[in-house]
Structure 1
Amino acid sequence: MRQTAVAGQFYPKNQKDLKKELSRCFRNTEVQPREIKGAVAPHAGYIYSGEVAAHAYALLPEADTYVLFGPNHTGYGSAVALSQDTWTTPLGNVETDRELGKLLAGSIVDYDEIAHRFEHSIEVQIPFLQYRFGEGFRILPICMGLQDEETAIEVGREVARAARESGKRVVFIASSDFTHYQSAERASDNDHYLIEPVIRMDIPEFYRRREERNITACGFGPIAATMAASRESGAVKASLLRYATSGDVTGDRSQVVGYAAIVFE
């Protein structure tokens, strides 16, 4: 069982309080499921980024399995690590899709629980799925310590292949924040510059721009993997649903973190 690592920090650890907080996150969204193949959602504390994340989750369709790509902030475990444990949150337990996981055997993706033990980037996404879909889904958590372009594309394509072979309905989700600890003005400029090739689903240009300006989007590999997997699964367009920064909540615009909700369909 993969226990919570950041309940009580990034989101409430009490079930009633968590449901209330999630309801607040969705207050300015309308749940309108579309044929979404993939999405990008932030992973900061819900008070800062939860409303942005809700814009992506409000459009997700019901699926058999949600593949969650997250960056590895801790440095523990394998370079590309798949969890097969059951995950628990204050809203209950969620099973991993072990059948889909087995189809990745022998690929670049390793079976490894250590990388996930203290990592928050995937954990904070799961209550959004539970709030939207209850108990009728599974997850496939993949933590990426290695995020270079070649690796990200290979991971995305391998997972898309496994999804096709499984015959299941699968949606891919990248967990990432964007610019870290710069002024709101500079963060917004850099982040929109980086988001533009994401909207075009242009992975090489996405990497080129990130490196050109040294943009501190922590989950750039998961974003690229989601782009690759979504495209392999038939996505032909992408949309930026909402962009915001932590300064919109705190009022301090001198050192912010950027957040974006993006979907591929």
Structure 2
Amino acid sequence: MRRPAVAGRFYPASPEALLLELKRCFEGLPTREDASIKGVVCPHAGYMYSGRTAAHAYAVLPSVDTYVIMCPNHTGMGSGVALSTDTWSTPLGTVDVDREFVSALPRDIIDLDESAHIYEHALEVQLPFLQYRFGDGFKIVPICLGMQDKETAAEVGAEIQEAMERTGRRVVVIASSDFSHYVPVEMASRNDRYVIDALLRADVDEFYRRLAESGASVCGYGAIASMLYAVQPESGELLDYSTSGDSTGDYVAVVGYAAIAMR
């Protein structure tokens, strides 16, 4: 059992308080299932900072069999491409891994490794959003990326695509990532929108080029690229963009958050 690592810090630890916080995140957002969505980009900060932006993605997410969730490795622990097969626990209950999908992965580059996930927050914080929207009617495939170069992302995306074809599963791929880190809000907004523009055109090569050119500190860039390679979208839509300054009032050193739907 993979138990919560950041409950009580990134989001409330009690079910009642967590549900109230999620209700706040979704307040005023119409929920619908957009079946055209193949993948999304969601932030992974504390809910008080990025929960509202994340809710913009989850409000339109379609209900599917399996959500492949990919995140960057912030801890440095474990394999460079680490897949967890444990059942995951949150204050709202447990979430099972889709073991049939896991078995269908070629696993040429993806390793079975729990250690990368033990203390990692970036994937865990996505689960209560899924539980809030869809109860227990889904499974996940959790992948933590320590290696985020374009070649690795292409291999990971190809393996996910192959497992999708082998299983015939209805799948949405969730890429967990924040954008600029600890820069003035003007710089964050400029750099983030520059790299996001490449994502809206589903152009992986241009995405990596703009990351290098701008220096935008997008922590989950490999997760985003892997998602693009896996689902092969035609275009994207920016659903919401915000910064930590919107919550704290500090615009001198902000973190950028984006919710993006890929179709």
Runs of 5+ unmatched residues, structure 1: none
- Give the structure 2 partner of residue 243 of structure 1: 241
Identity, in percent, stands at: 56
Q: Does 1:5 align with 2:5?
A: yes
Aligned length: 262
Whole-angstrom CA distance in 1 between matches of 2:171 and 2:148: 22
8 Å Cα contact 2:106/2:159 also seen in 1: no
Change (3 A) 1:228 1:106: closer
Partners of 1:128 and 1:106 lie apart in 2 by 28
- Coordinate RMSD, CA, aligned: 0.7
Q: Are positions 1:108 and 2:94 aligned together?
A: no
Show structure 2 runs of 5+ residues with no match: none
Find the counterpart in structure 1 of residue 123 from structure 2.
122
Structure 1 runs of 4+ aligned residues shifted over 2 Å read: none
Farther off after superposition, 72-81 or 103-112: 103-112
Structure 1: distance between partners of 2:254 and 2:28: 22
Q: Is the 8 A contact 2:106 2:163 kept in 1?
A: no
What letter is aligned with 1:86? T
In structure 1, the partner of 2:25 is 25
Q: d(CA) in 2 for partners of 1:128 and 1:107?
A: 31
| 1:197 to 2:198 alignment | yes
Alpha-carbon shift at residue 158 of structure 1 (Å): 1.0
Deviation at 1:28, TM superposition (A): 3.0
Residue identity matched to 1:257: V
Aligned to 2:53: 52
- CA-CA distance at 1:199 after TM superposition: 0.4
How far the C-alpha of 1:229 sits from its partner, in A, is 1.2
CA–CA separation in structure 1 for the residues paired with 2:58 and 2:231: 16
TM-score by length of 2: 0.98
> In the TM superposition, what are the counterparts of 1:64-75 in structure 2 within 5 Å?
64-75=65-76
Q: Is the 8 A contact 2:107 2:159 kept in 1?
A: no
Matched, 1:168 2:166: no
Partner-residue secondary structure (3-state), 2:120: coil
| 1:224 matches 2:235 | no
Match of 1:140 in 2: 141
